Amino acid sequence: MDDADDPTHDRDAEHTGFDADAFAREYDPEARARALQSLLIEKEMLSSEAVDDIVARYEEDIGPLNGARVVARAWTDSAFREQLLDDGTAAMEAMDIDIDTDTMDVEVVANDDDTHNLVVCTLCSCYPWAVLGLPPTWYKTPEYRSRAVRDPRGLLAEDFEVELADDIEIQVWDSTSELRYMVLPQQPPGTEDMDEEELVEVVTRDAMIGVDRLGSGQTAADGGVTSATGEQLRDLDLGDRPTFEAPWQARAFAVAVALTDDRPWETFQHRLVEEVDRDADADHADPESTYYEQWLRALERFVVEEGLLDSATIEVRTAEFDAGDRNAHEFVDGDPHGHVDGDSHAHDHDHAH
């Protein structure tokens, strides 16, 4: 869609003077993310420690291993299973898994001999981060988001090699910002004598999304990856790739999470949804980079439209980082030397490129 045909784009530019698309075309995303972080730190709206903590938590502590622990407990403890299916959030919190109940609840749906559950977010990429980590690349693609609803049986068979008998009903669960879903897979035959710790190694991330019926031998501990092999999605699994492929992606993600700590998540999410929708028909060579570009554009709109920063200040600061006129310390510490925005030659530090 051209900018001229996008009423959302025109409305935002008219009301804020900020053209997110033009800004993205002019400046490198690393400079844009650094500019936002440094300005917000200067205004004491967040701290570098908060950003670093969020990045570390999602890279190291939050991931599918938490979900695997939940599943293994449910397989070995019938009382816990009942609690999990009745109130997933409370059951997970009882296992010391931190669910941000101010922004979301987690509902667990169980597979059985007659039913297979599949989770999707048709709006953007809502996902139970606390138990599954960040969503895999393919989960965020338009192909998965549309076909999971339109043709779930074909999606599972062709893109994930999950062939289901015709008499097995497929239930599709659409996650939202307030309610995230996780699948409780059936325990695979032959694992009945395993203890809880051993069973954790049987559970895959994909099984907890609903694109795996288990039995593949992959484990949540090593990423829980069952590779998609279909025409559309086969190259989009994260595998052993890092959580964030570039520092600016981690920075943009963490800044948005930090800023919504005391604000409704929806204030950011609806802008992300709009950015994802505006790119829906584009042919993206790198879906992961595209998704975080959408995230960064949404974040820029969020801080301007919510009145946290003004567009002129953002543009001046971004241009300075883009030209190398500000150093790497300043996106962490703000502007400790009191430089005036626009005076790009006021200091003589080593530059970060």
Active site residues: 121, 124-126
Q: Dihedrals φ, ψ of 184, to 5°?
A: -95, 100
CB 215 within 8 A of CB 79: no
CA distance 105 to 139: 20
212 to 34, 58, 198, 263: CA distances (angstroms): 39, 23, 19, 36
Contacts of range 192-199, beta carbons closer than 8 Å, 24 or more positions apart: 195/76, 196/72, 196/73, 196/75, 196/76, 197/72, 199/71, 199/72, 199/75, 199/76
Alpha helices (runs of H) in the chain, residue ranges in sequence order: 7-16, 20-26, 29-42, 48-56, 64-76, 78-86, 88-94, 129-132, 142-150, 152-160, 196-200, 205-209, 247-259, 266-278, 287-305, 311-323, 330-333
- Nearest to residue 177, comparing CAs of 128, 245, 237? 128
Integer Cα distance of 145 and 181 in angstroms: 15
- At 188 the three-state DSSP class reads coil
State how far the Cα of 274 lies from the Cα of 1, in Å rounded to an integer. 12
Structure tokens at 147: 């076909």
Q: CB neighbours (10 Å) of residue 291?
A: 23
Give the whole-angstrom CA distance, residue 107 versus residue 101.
12
Could you identify the residue written with the tokens 């820029």?
A: 300
21-22-27-28 Cα dihedral, nearest 10 degrees: 20
